[in-house]
Each structure stands twice: as C-alpha cells, then as structure tokens.
A = this chain, B = another copy of it.
C-alpha cells in the first residue's frame, strides 16, 4: 500500500483496494478524517484518480458499508434455529466491530448477495422450525437492526469520558439517583460483549413465544 511510483508509472488500483484503504483510513482517523486527498495519498495517487473507481464520496462510503457486510461470512445453516440466530448475531457484530470507523455511517443494513444469502438461509431455518414466513422475516429484521444499533452504540460510547462516563456518573446526586449510583459502584453493565449476549438471549427467548 502507498508505495511510491516513478514518474508516469501506473498505480494499478482496483475498486476493492480503494475501499479497503478507505476502511483502514476511517479506522485510524475517524469518519471526519476520511478525505479524498488523504485516501489518495495513502494509495500513492492524486485525489481525482479515485473518481475512476467511485463516482463520488457518498458512493465511496456506501461501498465501504457494503464491503463490511459482505465480510461477514454467512453463518453455517444450523437446524437448531436458536443456535443459528445466535451465530448470525455474533458473526455480524464481529464483522461490524472489525471496522469501527465507518460504523456511524451504517444506519441501514446493506443489500448485497452475501446479506441476501444470509436472509434466505435464516428464513429457511426459521420456517423449517415452524415459524410462519411473516414472523420469520420480522425475527430476522429485528435481530439485524438490533445488532446494528448495538454495535454502532458500542463504538460511540467507548470514545467519551465526558457525561456518561463512570467517573462522571459517580458524582450524581445520591438522593435523586440512588439506583444509578449503586449500579455504577458495583460496576454493572460495563461489559459490552456481555450486554450483547444478554440481549440476544432475551430476543431469542421472546421469539420462542411464537414457536409453540
């Protein structure tokens, strides 16, 4: 990456290289630090060159998001629908957290061959387990949106130590917020991974009510 070329030598980029470099840059410098000029520099190329691989910056970000979703390998189909959903949620979260830089820009699930396969596979498992098709779709949409929101919030929260941080919360009025203070003191709710697992289990437990 970013090798210097002789005068007039070609860089030989591909769209995938551009998108991957953009993901790296966003992870290092944040969304605001993702610049056409900066991305060009990282690839050893002028900014305008990038417009041969991407029509504009919005499309660049869209491509990055697509790449993120595509990187989540579809969970192996599991006849146990609970295990299938657990695996799907876990894998999707892991893929999303691999590139926290663009997560703030992921406000909707991307539609790619990979995600379509994941949905189709999920529908097959769920309907096979007795869920009506409409319910199965609601289940998958609900779970996907939850994973998205949770992952985005995880990277959003961790960066700050202003309002909301444990030390900040510890200075609250103990008359008014006794339970919050007790929670902070006991260190509850600070483990993102544990909270995620808790939530997934709750959702699966709730979905079970539609299956008998």
Q: Could you tell me which A residues sit within 8 Å of B by CB distance? A: 103-105, 107-112, 116, 119-120, 123-124, 127, 133-134, 136-139, 141-142, 145-146, 148-150, 152-153, 155-157, 160, 163-164, 168-169, 172, 176-180, 182-183, 186, 188-189, 195, 198-199, 201-209
Give Cα A127–Cα B208 distance, bound, in whole angstroms.
25
Would A195 and B157 be within 8 Å (CB), given that A164-B111, A182-B133, A202-B206 are in contact?
no
Task: Determine the residue in chain B with the shortest Cβ distance to A160.
Answer: B108
Of B103, B134, B179, B186, the residue contacting A188 (CB under 8 A) is: B134
Residue of B nearest to A178 (CB): B120
User: How far does the alpha carbon of A189 sit from the alpha carbon of B206 in the complex, in Å?
Assistant: 18
Beyond known contacts A107-B153, A202-B209, A205-B206: 18 more, CB 8 A cutoff: A103-B107, A107-B155, A107-B156, A108-B153, A109-B164, A110-B163, A111-B163, A111-B168, A120-B179, A123-B180, A142-B199, A142-B202, A145-B149, A145-B150, A146-B150, A149-B152, A204-B206, A205-B205
24 A–B pairs (Cβ distance < 8 Å), ordered by A: A104-B105, A107-B155, A107-B156, A108-B156, A108-B160, A111-B163, A112-B163, A120-B179, A123-B180, A133-B182, A134-B186, A134-B188, A137-B183, A138-B195, A138-B198, A145-B153, A146-B146, A146-B149, A146-B150, A149-B152, A203-B203, A203-B206, A204-B206, A205-B205
Question: How many copies, total?
Answer: 2
Contact between A141 and B195, CB atoms less than 8 A apart: yes
- Nearest first, the 5 A-B pairs at minimum CB distance are A149-B149, A202-B206, A205-B206, A108-B156, A107-B156
